[in-house]
Structure 1
Amino acid sequence: MNEELKTFTISVYTENNIGLLNRISAIFQRRHINIESLTTSQSEIENVNRFVIVVNISETQAKKIVGQIEKQVEVIKAYYHTDNETIFTESCMFKIKSELLFEEPQIQNIIKESNTRIVTVNKAFFVLEKTGRRHEIEALRRDLNAFGIMQFVRSGRIAVTKDEMRITELLKAEKNKQ
């Protein structure tokens, strides 16, 4: 029986070492699993980084991948969660010709209706910033595409769990074991 594919957010808490990203991405590559988004940052614990990796896989695959990731020496702990178990968002920026801001009233309506923020305006261009779910960002991109987008960039997902994970205590306990 084939398991249902779902979107999983995999959180990996690690020491900050060179080459770890390559080894983690190789785990996905060997299994022919595409990474939908990847974000790394400092975590809530000093000197511990967090990878947030989004993939569409089965739960069995998610368990195996987390197990493989945890075998990496620098990895302190890894978890996987469904979309229903997390609160998540993405950010994006659009660069658009400035003349459109003043000559196209519909652009101002789009900005207001989408809760988009103007970051900067100069003679040549203006930059918009939007934070939200992927489908909201894609809808905004479609709306703005009609007017011409000079540049577009979207971040990977950032996420926290809905459950209180007491992650700080868990990670400190794990780190002390090492």
Structure 2
Amino acid sequence: MKKECYTISVYTENNIGLLNRISAIFLKRHINLDSMTASVSEIKDVFRFTIVVKITEEQVKKLVGQIEKQIEVIKAFYHTNEQTIYQETALFKIDSKLLFEERQIQNVIKDNNANIVTVTPEFFVLEKTGRRGEVEELYNALEPYGLMQFVRSGRIAVTKDQMHISKILESFVPETI
């Protein structure tokens, strides 16, 4: 079977140790995570993990089934890239003198639709939000100038179809939440 990129969304209660148990499911199967993010969801007291993996559809179905067996997991879904709208955010910390001495760096910032977040006498910070390829393109353009620091978030995603998560989860959420 062909490996494909899947975004797994896991809706959970916020309990200590759940992240370890979810990551252990991937570890047991020797599946590497491309990215993982955690945040509050659109439902009060329900949290969401967004996990990106490159595996077969058969593997992702089994993974989602195993994840849903965790007591604190309310529901898990998986989607292909074509079924989601997704972005990543990156921050680039660069020596400030380059902003004024290297005219080309201003063009790189403009051409990549990056935003200057802060400027100090020692450094400036750029922010870029977009698909992974867009972030990597900016990284490759800035890297020759020397990066002081670089960090990229994991994927954040919503489905393209009209999935009303709140309504879907109503039947799964206990009255105590």
Q: Cα distance, 1:115 vs. partner?
A: 0.5
Pairing of 1:26-45 with structure 2 (within 5 A): 26-45=24-43
Partner of 2:173, secondary structure, is: helix
SS of the residue aligned with 1:28? helix
Paired residue for 1:65, among 63, 66, 71? 63
Which stretches of structure 1, 4 residues or more, deviate above 6 A after TM superposition? none
Question: 2:117 corresponds to which residue?
Answer: 119
Distance in 2 separating the partners of 1:121 and 1:105: 16
Partner residue, 1:141? 139
Give the equivalent residue in structure 2 for 1:11. 9
Amino acid at match of 2:47: N
The aligned length equals 176
Give the counterpart letter for 1:35 in structure 2.
Answer: L
Residue identity over aligned pairs, in percent, reads: 63
Q: Distance in 1 between matches of 2:87 and 2:81?
A: 11
1:73 and 1:172 map into 2 onto residues whose CA distance is 17
User: How far 1:166 sits from its partner (Å)?
Assistant: 1.3
Shift of 1:170: 1.1
TM-score (normalizing by structure 1): 0.97
Amino acid at match of 1:119: V
CA drift at 1:176: 3.8
Gaps of 5+ in 2: none
Give the AA of the match of 1:152.
F
Q: Where do 5+ consecutive residues of structure 1 fail to align?
A: none
With structure 2 as the length reference, what TM-score do the two structures score? 0.98
Q: Choose from 73, 76, 79 the match for 2:77.
A: 79
**Which of 124, 128, 131 is 1:130 aligned to?**
128
